Chains A and B, each alone.
Chain A
Amino acid sequence: MTVTEIGSARLRKEDQRLITGRTRYTDNMTLPGMLHIACVRSPFAHATITAIDVSEAKASPGVVSVLTGRDLADEQGSLPCAWPITEDQKAPPHPAVAVDHVAFAGEIVAVVVARTAAQARDAVELVDVDYDELPVVLGLEHALTDEVLAHPSLGTNKSATWVFDSAEAGTGTDVDQALAGSDVVVERTYTQQRLIPAFMEPRSTLVDPTGDQIVMWSATQVPHILRLMLAMTLGIPEGKVRVIAPDVGGGFGGKLQVTPEEVVTLLAARRIGKPVKLTETRSESLMAAHHGRAQLQRLKIGATKDGIVTGLSVDLLADMGAYLGLVTPGVPVLGAFMFNSIYKFPAYRFSTTNLFTNKTWTDAYRGAGRPEATFGIERLMDDLAAELGMDPLELREKNWIKHEEFPFTTVAGLEYDTGNYEAATAKALELFGYDELRAEQKQRRDAGDRVQLGIGISTFTEMCGLAPSRVLGSLNYGAGGWEHATVRMLPTGSVEVVTGASAHGQGHETAFSQIVADRLGIPFDNIEVLHGDTASSHKGLDTYGSRSLVVGGMAIVAAADKVIEKAKAVAAHMMEANPDDVEFAAGNFTVKGTDASVNIAETALAVFAAHDLPDGMEPSLDSDATFDPENFNYPHGTHLAAMEVDTETGEVTLRKYVCVDDIGNVVNPLIVEGQIHGGLVQGIAQALFEEAVHDDAGTLVSGSFVDYLVPSAADLPSFITDRTETPATTNALGVKGVGEAGTIASTPAIVNGVIDAVRHLGVEDILMPCSPHRVWTAINNAGKGGLAAKGGGAEAAVPETTSPEQAASGSNSSGSLPTGDVQ
């Protein structure tokens, strides 16, 4: 019997249904008498609703009901935010359907329920809403002034300010003093543009209210959290709600939410007493599903002239958008622990000011706070290296934690258990051909080639496995961070594993089967993984923050170990041996010094029959376990990008990308590699392609896949990926998270490479995405000498869009905005 499942490249169990079209995405489901919802959404980013006339819509063919915010005001409650980061955090009420005020374009103002989806959409056009437009606040620095308020009733745009200071925390010294005593201080402002998660499956919710329980199928990452929140916010007894996440087509944090669409579907179904389904269009999804990133990062770093960093100061403005979603305010706070990254900074101060604007609200998007932080520090290390005239890799080496220094308590207060940055970097350099590429770069620079070469470096770490419950408690998060599992032995010897993690593409069924196969000595194919249904998986905290394996997997291990303990007593009884003399390996119980043997399947059958069990033993091997991690785990890696920049057109080409990630022990290398590939592309997309662009009225301009540039296969090369394996010591499997690593690491690698290609021309910063227009503009303005000023902050290129946020951030961060190029 195999005992080497962990580490093998098992092909995925979940593929068969997905490659043959036998899928259960929510929108695929139909129930008898099912009705359809279509949403009336505000075209204005900020307005009061003065009147809604639904009479014509109600008379439209097939229409069963039209519901406005006023109709639902008494029962819809307020959508939940589970992470009030400060005691005095301000937040507006967040109704599922706006009652008299809309704060972003795309907010739902009414819903039509009809017999067919087409009839519902037709009738949406007939709902007549009168709006009085209000002034909009869109840019972060504008929001900070409170001149225009996203929610006038709130009296301010400031939701909260959260500060970490290493001097106060006792984890380091005072950053102002450290900077004052530094030989060099580099001050920069970087922009994290607003992104859209853009999962491929548009969100869909189906609610069946006809039974004793209300059953909701939804395209969600968080069925358990959703059920809890529906109960708490709508006053439904928790036991009367069942939530099912069937096949879910990607999430990336974008389906870590309790959405207006879910709430209104439930309310409509309950009112009408029939199953109701709401499936959004892609345009609705891009407009109204939560966005991500959207920060202005004002950074200061000090160093000695030898390149030893003395201190780091981080001052963020973070765009909440119009409301606070499930974990919106906490996203920048997660970054607080990651700006210091892999480095031994002696002094550190972090502050985030969370601001409301009249845009779609933001929330978790792959990495959630950590990509933003990693981008900030890795860009800053490159700029510091340039200031010091030092190789950026040398600067990093001088400051990173050496492998023999682990465990290491960082200036942000986390204890990193293990890591080996030297080993990952050495491997990456070799695969990349670093020295050769540096030589080619010099050659091209010396020759003044039209196409210049840049090398982008990103050495990163992240905190994975959200999260130790005590840590979440200290950050005022509304729940714990444990995960639950059940392992059930069936009489035939096959196994059911129930997990509270909720997969939406990760391959849990395969990876968890591998873990259990090894642990119990049961064949991989005899293991069934159940998930994503609060009826079968009654307890869980779902999937996000690279937690499923490192937290959920550990709960499965613990449950399996309990099964073994129970089975051991049964086996001993069957072999008439003392349990202390019984050993378990590869699915077999043996008695030391004898050839007596009973396998675990036999014990399962014996327990099912229950004819002859040890006295007092309950006839069940099934076991539950809940695992709460003691610490996060800390994947790390070194990513290198060779970027070619055509200095005449501004076109950027990713020529070569090498990454060496250390995620500890690997359960399934095939799945790991897939996660890295996909993660890389989402990070690269931020660097080169994607941005949620709004016009000056607050309308999303990049509102379809025509304009929101999710990259295609033709936009990308293949990547060279490899690993070092430094096992985590914070869990028995020695594993670390991998779902977000690629996204966290790749964005700064790409942008650093682009800047490195043209820095000698005087370019110090280019706003993301680094489109040909922006790159060309940066080169040309630098060539005019307008951007060479030192120490005055980032020299931002002019965005080609009329995004007020970008324009505002550019002008305020550089102090030397090039003129004449704003289109």
Chain B
Amino acid sequence: MANTPISVTVDQVTYEDDVEPRTLLVQYLREQLGKTGTLIGCDTTNCGACTVHLDGQSVKSCTMFAVQADGHDVTTIEGLAQDGDLHPMQQAFHEKHALQCGFCTPGMIMQSIALLQENPNPTEQEVREGLEGNLCRCTGYQNIVAAVQAAAGAGSAAGTQSEEGAA
């Protein structure tokens, strides 16, 4: 099948590429752009390890084709820290020991940021439900929930720190 040209901005850099129409966004990110910070944990859209932001909204990048991202703005875990400063959510995950093996972490952080953008002051239960689509096998989630609430408590920064495309 003929390749399709796309133009996608990823972590503030715009790429012009030809992709197979069946290429998933996550495959494009990892294999063509070398954005291996975004990980693949399943093949059924259950685990959320591949979560990125598309125009500021969280999406599972295994669940859309690269061609669907044409003309859109993608932020991955690699694009969060600005000028060497961690995003407040990254900092909160570090401080609350919200990760162990780290494999779910990129998706978990991206989803947590999106969660706070929708609900800046969630209850514990709201955090838990907001992360329902992201699986972690190490932490038991308790410290992840604590990190999200800490980031929320740290002020509006975590939820509203500007992201390209989110403004």
- Name A's B-contacting residues (CB within 8 A): 11-12, 14-23, 25, 27-28, 30, 117-118, 198-202, 247-250, 252, 281-283, 504-507, 670-671, 673-674, 677-682, 704-706, 710, 712-714, 716, 718-719, 742
A252 x B137 contact (CB < 8 A): yes
Which residues on A sit within 8 Å (CB–CB) of B104? 200
Q: Which of B30, B97, B134, B138 contacts A250 (CB 8 A)?
A: B138
Of the candidates A17, A30, A200, A718, the one having the most CB atoms from chain B within 10 angstroms of its own CB is: A200
B81 x A713 contact (CB < 8 A): no
- Which are the 6 A-B pairs with shortest beta-carbon distances? A21-B37, A505-B101, A18-B102, A249-B103, A677-B140, A705-B46
Interface hits, B129-158 → A, CB 8 Å: 129, 131-145
User: Quick one: closest B residue to A198, CB to CB?
Assistant: B137
B101 x A705 contact (CB < 8 A): no
B44 x A200 contact (CB < 8 A): no
Which residues on A sit within 8 Å (CB–CB) of B99? 15, 18-19
B18 lies within 8 A of chain A by Cβ: no
B101 x A12 contact (CB < 8 A): no
Which residues on B sit within 8 Å (CB–CB) of A281? 43
Q: Knowing A20-B90, A27-B40, A718-B124 touch, does A712 contact B133 (C-beta < 8 A)?
A: yes
Q: Which of B44, B76, B100, B105 contacts A282 (CB 8 A)?
A: B44
A-B contact pairs, 25 of them (CB 8 A): A18-B105, A20-B77, A21-B76, A22-B78, A23-B36, A25-B36, A25-B103, A28-B36, A199-B101, A199-B103, A200-B137, A202-B40, A202-B41, A247-B101, A249-B39, A250-B138, A504-B101, A505-B102, A674-B138, A704-B42, A713-B127, A714-B132, A716-B128, A716-B141, A718-B142
Residues of B in contact, count (CB < 8 Å): 57
B47 lies within 8 A of chain A by Cβ: yes
Q: Cα distance A201–B127 when bound, in Å?
A: 24
Q: Cα distance A19–B100 when bound, in Å?
A: 11
Q: Which of A19, A21, A200, A719 contacts B94 (CB 8 A)?
A: A19
Which residues on B sit within 8 Å (CB–CB) of A25? 36, 39, 103
Q: Which of A250, A506, A671 contacts B137 (CB 8 A)?
A: A250
User: Quick one: closest B residue to A708, CB to CB?
Assistant: B46
Q: Cα distance A761–B42 when bound, in Å?
A: 42
B106 x A21 contact (CB < 8 A): yes
B118 lies within 8 A of chain A by Cβ: no
B94 x A673 contact (CB < 8 A): no
Q: Cα distance A25–B105 when bound, in Å?
A: 13
B38 lies within 8 A of chain A by Cβ: yes
B78 x A21 contact (CB < 8 A): yes
Q: Knowing A27-B40, A678-B100, A704-B46 touch, does A19 contact B90 (C-beta < 8 A)?
A: yes
B36 x A21 contact (CB < 8 A): yes
B44 x A713 contact (CB < 8 A): no
A705 x B44 contact (CB < 8 A): yes
Q: Knowing A200-B136, A201-B41, A249-B103 touch, does A677 contact B46 (C-beta < 8 A)?
A: no
Q: Cα distance A706–B38 when bound, in Å?
A: 21
Which residues on A sit within 8 Å (CB–CB) of B139? 674, 677-678
A11 x B141 contact (CB < 8 A): no
Q: Knowing A15-B94, A677-B139, A710-B137 touch, does A201 contact B47 (C-beta < 8 A)?
A: no
Q: Which of B109, B127, B131, B137 contacts A19 (CB 8 A)?
A: B109
Q: Which of A15, A22, A117, A742 contacts B93 (CB 8 A)?
A: A15
User: Quick one: closest B residue to A250, CB to CB?
Assistant: B101
User: Quick one: closest B residue to A29, CB to CB?
Assistant: B36
B33 lies within 8 A of chain A by Cβ: no
B10 lies within 8 A of chain A by Cβ: no
Whole-angstrom distance between the Cβ of B28 and the nearest chain A Cβ: 12
Q: Cα distance A105–B121 when bound, in Å?
A: 48
User: Quick one: closest A residue to B23, CB to CB?
Assistant: A118
Q: Which of A201, A250, A704 contacts B44 (CB 8 A)?
A: A704
B132 x A249 contact (CB < 8 A): no
User: Quick one: closest B residue to A668, CB to CB?
Assistant: B97
Whole-angstrom distance between the Cβ of A401 and the nearest chain B Cβ: 30
Q: Cα distance A121–B61 when bound, in Å?
A: 20
Which residues on A sit within 8 Å (CB–CB) of B138? 200, 250, 505, 674, 678
Question: Can you name 7 extra interface pairs (CB under 8 A) apart from A19-B102, A673-B143, A713-B132?
Answer: A15-B102, A28-B30, A118-B22, A250-B100, A706-B44, A712-B132, A718-B142
Whole-angstrom distance between the Cβ of A253 and the nearest chain B Cβ: 12
B43 x A19 contact (CB < 8 A): no
Q: Cα distance A519–B132 when bound, in Å?
A: 43
Q: Cα distance A470–B8 when bound, in Å?
A: 61
User: Quick one: closest A residue to B41, CB to CB?
Assistant: A200
Q: Cα distance A249–B40 when bound, in Å?
A: 11
Which residues on A sit within 8 Å (CB–CB) of B124? 718
Which residues on B sit within 8 Å (CB–CB) of A27? 36, 40
B86 x A681 contact (CB < 8 A): no
Whole-angstrom distance between the Cβ of A21 and the nearest chain B Cβ: 2
**Which applies to chain B's interface (DSSP): helix, strand, loop or mixed?**
loop
Which residues on A sit within 8 Å (CB–CB) of B81? 20
Q: Cα distance A504–B80 when bound, in Å?
A: 24
Q: Cα distance A19–B104 when bound, in Å?
A: 10
Which residues on B sit within 8 Å (CB–CB) of A201? 39, 41, 101, 103
Whole-angstrom distance between the Cβ of A426 and the nearest chain B Cβ: 24
Which residues on B sit within 8 Å (CB–CB) of A681? 140-141
Q: Knowing A19-B94, A674-B143, A718-B145 touch, does A282 contact B128 (C-beta < 8 A)?
A: no
Q: Which of A14, A28, A282 contacts B47 (CB 8 A)?
A: A282
Which residues on A sit within 8 Å (CB–CB) of B97? 11-12, 670-671, 673-674
B25 lies within 8 A of chain A by Cβ: no
A706 x B141 contact (CB < 8 A): no
Which residues on A sit within 8 Å (CB–CB) of B132? 712-714
Of the candidates A247, A714, A742, the one having the most CB atoms from chain B within 10 angstroms of its own CB is: A714
Scan B52-85; emit 1 where CB is below 8 A from any A CB, else 0. Answer: 0000000000000000000000001110110000
Q: Cα distance A710–B47 when bound, in Å?
A: 9
Which residues on A sit within 8 Å (CB–CB) of B113? none
B86 x A19 contact (CB < 8 A): yes
Q: Cα distance A678–B136 when bound, in Å?
A: 9
Q: Cα distance A811–B103 when bound, in Å?
A: 41
Which residues on B sit within 8 Å (CB–CB) of A704? 42-44, 46
Which residues on A sit within 8 Å (CB–CB) of B86? 19-20
Q: Knowing A505-B138, A677-B139 touch, does A249 contact B46 (C-beta < 8 A)?
A: no
Q: Knowing A201-B39, A201-B41, A716-B141 touch, does A11 contact B94 (C-beta < 8 A)?
A: yes
Of the candidates A22, A248, A282, A671, the one having the most CB atoms from chain B within 10 angstroms of its own CB is: A282
Which residues on A sit within 8 Å (CB–CB) of B38? 21
Q: Cα distance A200–B141 when bound, in Å?
A: 14
Which residues on B sit within 8 Å (CB–CB) of A12? 94, 97
Q: Cα distance A505–B140 when bound, in Å?
A: 13
A677 x B77 contact (CB < 8 A): no
Q: Cα distance A25–B44 when bound, in Å?
A: 21
B128 x A714 contact (CB < 8 A): yes
User: Quick one: closest B residue to A200, CB to CB?
Assistant: B103
Q: Knowing A21-B37, A25-B39 touch, does A712 contact B137 (C-beta < 8 A)?
A: no
B41 x A282 contact (CB < 8 A): yes
Whole-angstrom distance between the Cβ of B43 and the nearest chain A Cβ: 5
B49 lies within 8 A of chain A by Cβ: yes
Q: Cα distance A63–B154 when bound, in Å?
A: 53
A199 x B137 contact (CB < 8 A): yes
Whole-angstrom distance between the Cβ of B126 and the nearest chain A Cβ: 10
B143 x A677 contact (CB < 8 A): yes
Which residues on B sit within 8 Å (CB–CB) of A248? 101
Of the candidates A21, A283, A506, the one having the most CB atoms from chain B within 10 angstroms of its own CB is: A21
Whole-angstrom distance between the Cβ of A412 and the nearest chain B Cβ: 30
User: Quick one: closest A residue to B11, CB to CB?
Assistant: A21
Which residues on B sit within 8 Å (CB–CB) of A673? 97, 143
User: Quick one: closest A residue to B103, CB to CB?
Assistant: A249
Which residues on A sit within 8 Å (CB–CB) of B102? 14-15, 17-19, 23, 247, 249, 505
A713 x B145 contact (CB < 8 A): yes
Whole-angstrom distance between the Cβ of A80 and the nearest chain B Cβ: 26
Q: Cα distance A599–B97 when bound, in Å?
A: 34
Which residues on B sit within 8 Å (CB–CB) of A706? 44, 46
